[in-house]
Amino acid sequence: MGYEFEVMPSGIDEKAIRSENPRKLVLMLAYAKAEALLPKIQEPAILITSDQVVLCDGKIHEEPQNEKEAREYLQNLGLSLVEAVTGVVATNTFAKKQVEAVDVCRIVFSEIPEEVIEEYIQSGEAFIPTPTFPDLVV
């Protein structure tokens, strides 16, 4: 299509931005990323920033800090309603306009077998931050 994309990490301290409301939180983070990246963009561009949080039984789930926390979280997934809340902010750097959107994906898991939990923890993937779309510049 003729578009060139560049991934630019924002470098913001996401832990410094907090809200009890997950929809508000993901937008606050996406806007903070845009604010941090805008000074680095010299040419007219579309900047897309986003963030995602996972809710388990209505509570924001933070990345586990150790194997015990990871195991407890994964064991509870099959017993809980899980929601992935994603916020996206698109910024037109030329027009200086921004639009935002929030999407919620509800996920139902079957009970996760212990051997799968153990394999996932040992792979290290249980400790990776919630997968999100990278921040893109078009």
The parts of the chain modelled with pLDDT lower than 70 are 1, 129-138
Q: Give the pLDDT of residue 129.
A: 66
**How many other CB atoms sit within 10 Å of the CB of residue 27?**
21
pLDDT at 114: 92
Give the per-residue pLDDT at 126.
80
Catalytic residue among 51, 57, 103, 135: 51
| pLDDT (0 to 100) of residue 104 | 96
So what's the pLDDT on residue 27? 98
* Residues 6 or more apart in contact with residue 53 via CB below 8 angstroms: 22, 25, 26, 60, 61, 84, 85, 130
pLDDT value of position 124: 85
The pLDDT, as a whole number, for residue 135 is 42
pLDDT score of 137? 43
Q: What is the pTM of this model?
A: 0.82
CA 15 – CA 5 distance, rounded (Å): 27
Specify whether the CB–CB gap between 74 and 119 falls below 8 A: no
Active site residue 51: yes
pLDDT value of residue 130: 55
| Domains of the chain by start residue, with CATH | 6-137 (3.90.950.10)
Distance CA 33, CA 47 (A): 10
